[in-house]
Amino acid sequence: MIRLQDIRKVNDYEWEIPATYRSDMRASVRLFVTRRLLEASLEDLSLEQAINAATLPGVVDPVVVMPDMHQGYGFPIGGVAATRVSDGVVSPGAIGYDINCGVRLLASQIPYEQALPYLDNLASALNRYCPSGVGTEGEYRLSHEELDQVCRLGARWALKRGLASEEDLRRTEEGGCLEGADPNKVSHKAKERGRTQLGTLGAGNHFLEVDVIEQIFDPEAAQAMGLQEGNLALLIHCGSRGFGHQICTDYVQDLQSAVKKYGIHLPDRELVCAPINSPEGRDYLAAMRAAANYAFCNRQLLAHAARRAFEEVFAGKVRNWHLHQVYDIAHNMGKIETHIVNGKPLKVCVHRKGATRAFGPGFPELPEEYRHLGQPVLVPGSMGTASWVLIGTETSMQRSWGSTCHGAGRVLSRHKAKKEIRGERLRDELEKRGIHVRAGSMSGLAEEAPQAYKDVDEVVETVAGAGIARKVARLRPVAVIKG
């Protein structure tokens, strides 16, 4: 097992495991952490998993790990790895089971003080309009043909039905639709799971949260995003539901034979992979993109439902109840991107698992109003703690494959959290602090207690200190809806 003395300190926010640490490593591991967070990370296998990822065929130096890292399936949550498209591999475990789990931020012109008498009604309305919980079915029961359209069109499927605006899509990563999705590469079992779950929140760490914009750090960026101190905002955190989970499950199994076929030697079979340019690799990427598009559409439908709830509660009570979209960003995704490596452009597959794309100023695909600033980054905290709006930087392009953190990062397993925390007591504590809670189960609530996670403020201070993101605004929760 790796020890602290094996890791080289670069500065207060950056450390390195050299490629010489283990003979099979093809790249170094760059860690964006404070010493305290680094010492805590030695308690699980996240660093060992990052070292294992540095052995993948075609991996490009460095593998990057964020301060919210914790142990995942084969690859650490909070990890980023880029592999050459020409001779590298794609690994489902390095992208994650909940493909395109991500965050959408909507903002309002509703002052918190004006909304205060209606927040309990708002929590109930959001809970009613946005179904949540394990296996929950929503109001959209799709035929197989309709599901295939969602896989190909993503959020554009919602636009065609009047459930989205062009601005929503413009302010969504990839315009809410990844090219190259192929529903024919998705199993029947995955489609059956996905057919009835569109427009639902799910369970686990997924939530819908009403926040008050507590503090602005970058007035220019906040103005461009329509964020005003003291006003309400809404965060939606969810992904591709059982559809994406089943796709990952299928390909983790299917690619075991590809590892043998192509003579790939792995230190951990959970890193199962296939060459990007092989039939198996292309099939996985096509199915992954289908799940990503499903997730973009899912968050769009939840945004539409949330707007209905805001209208029901605030129409006639406030002057402007409208929710405008700030941005929608993925944090479990594999993307083909071109990055500058050793002074030359290189096409790579960037695996981000529990890490957020954070492109800097000038990126042409950003909405015009954000292009000179950089890409918005949304960092949800644990329930009852702050969430953050950040912005990508030029440094993130140079040091971290245009990536930054995605959240707080677990310190307690779900099983341990349920043993140590009572859901009823937690709900009462949150309510006493003025946070209106709607939860599908008390055990599910306990799993996601604030003490089960790292301090999101410390995580954000770390990425800001490292220069791989810049602070824009801090949000404080006033209502939380969980499955």
What residues are labeled active site?
406
Whether 85 and 79 have beta carbons less than 8 Å apart is answered as no
Kindly list the strands in the beta sheet with 29-31, ordered across the sheet, starting from the edge strand earlier in the chain: 8-11, 14-17, 29-31, 59-70, 77-84, 344-353, 332-341
The span from the CA of 156 to the CA of 168, in Å, is 10
Nearest residue to 282 via CA among 374, 160, 428, 180 = 180
Amino acid at 128: R
Bridge partners, residue 232, by sequence: 212
The span from the CA of 439 to the CA of 437, in Å, is 6
- φ/ψ region of 441 (left if φ > 0, alpha if ψ in -120 to 50, else beta) reads beta
Whether 27 and 397 have beta carbons less than 8 Å apart is answered as no
Q: Tokens 């289908």 belong to which residue?
A: 290
- Give 448's DSSP letter: T
Query: Helix, strand, or coil here: 263?
Result: coil
Whether 149 and 202 have beta carbons less than 8 Å apart is answered as no
Q: Tell how strand 376-379 and strand 387-391 pair up.
A: antiparallel
Whether 240 and 246 have beta carbons less than 8 Å apart is answered as no
- Give 163's DSSP letter: S
- Give 483's DSSP letter: -
The span from the CA of 98 to the CA of 315, in Å, is 35
What are the C-alpha distances in Å from 420 to residues 86, 217, 357, 416? 48, 36, 34, 6
